[in-house]
A = this chain, B = another copy of it.
Amino acid sequence: MERVEVRQNVLKENDRIAAELRKDFERRGVLCLNIIASPGAGKTSLLEHTLQAFAGSRHKVAVLTGDIQTDRDAERLARFGFPARQITTGGTCHLDAAMVRRALADVSLDGADLLFIENVGNLVCPAAYDLGEAAKIVMLSVAEGDDKPLKYPSIFGRARLMLLHKVDLLPYTRFDLAAAKADARRVNPGIEIIETSCVGAPGLQAWLDWLERATGLKTGEWPPV
The answer to whether the Cβ of A202 comes within 8 Å of any Cβ in the partner chain is no
The answer to whether the Cβ of A112 comes within 8 Å of any Cβ in the partner chain is no
Q: How many copies does the complex hold?
A: 2
A93-B93, A120-B124, A122-B93 known; A151+B69 contact, CB < 8 A: yes
> Which residues of A from 1 to 28 have beta carbons under 8 Å from B?
2-3, 6, 10
How far apart are A98's CB and chain B's nearest CB, in angstroms?
12
What interface size band does chain A fall in? 35 or more
CB distance B150 to A70 under 8 Å? yes
The answer to whether the Cβ of A168 comes within 8 Å of any Cβ in the partner chain is yes
Q: How far is the CA of A40 from the CA of B68 in the complex (A)?
A: 20
A-B contact pairs, 28 of them (CB 8 A): A3-B6, A3-B10, A38-B38, A39-B123, A39-B148, A40-B141, A40-B144, A40-B145, A68-B124, A69-B151, A69-B152, A69-B153, A70-B151, A72-B147, A72-B151, A91-B124, A93-B93, A93-B122, A120-B124, A121-B151, A122-B123, A122-B124, A125-B125, A143-B143, A143-B166, A143-B169, A169-B169, A172-B172
